[in-house]
């Protein structure tokens, strides 16, 4: 069992893992809410406040189960391609519970250089604050959030199944609208 601060709400019926319903920890984020700050671990093992570190930018935050899966691989590569077209006022953050060692190796092999890939493995703070932590496998369910320059959430997508990809065009349009 892993450490969770305080009592966290477990929700059922949202997603399955290996054919079984798995509890999700935390509440879903809704458009219009202030985005909760969260800490993550960089590929160089720095523990940082992510929103504070990207203050003044529009953020696309993509939660993925593991970079080592085909869908997460495809999603991260797609966001890496799109990031170059968005300009410096938009930052794309891909977050998983993969260890920074794994993330660094995978990003190097995949040529990922436009998105910021960080890990939620340490305290799963992102997972619990954004309603993405799948308790039993201790991985994140797939979701995408657009957060504006003032830390307001403007777009949210929670995928109903781990193998579903986000609607990239809607996410990119939401990011452009938040500029």
CA nearest 141: which of 17, 2, 9? 17
Which of the following is catalytic: 51, 72, 83, 134?
A: 72
| Residue 72 a catalytic site member | yes
Residues in the chain: 179
> Would you please indicate which residues are annotated as catalytic (active-site) residues?
72
């Amino acid at each position: 069992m892993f450490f969770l601060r305080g009592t966290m709400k477990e929700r059922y019926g949202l997603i399955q893992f290996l054919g079984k319903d798995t509890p999700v920890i935390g509440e879903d984020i809704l458009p219009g809410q202030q985005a909760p700050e969260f800490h993550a671990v960089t590929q160089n093992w720095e523990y940082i406040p992510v929103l504070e570190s990207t203050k003044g930018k529009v953020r696309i935050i993509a939660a993925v189960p593991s970079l080592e899966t085909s869908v997460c691989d495809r999603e991260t590569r797609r966001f890496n391609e799109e990031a170059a077209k968005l300009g410096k006022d938009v930052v794309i953050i891909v977050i998983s519970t993969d260890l920074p060692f794994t993330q660094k190796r995978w990003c190097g092999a995949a040529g990922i250089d436009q998105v910021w890939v960080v890990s939620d493995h340490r305290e799963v703070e992102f997972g619990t604050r954004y309603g993405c932590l799948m308790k039993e496998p201790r991985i994140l369910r797939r979701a995408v959030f657009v957060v504006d320059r003032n830390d307001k959430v403007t777009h949210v997508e929670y995928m109903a199944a781990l193998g579903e990809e986000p609607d990239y065009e809607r996410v990119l349009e939401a990011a452009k609208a938040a500029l």
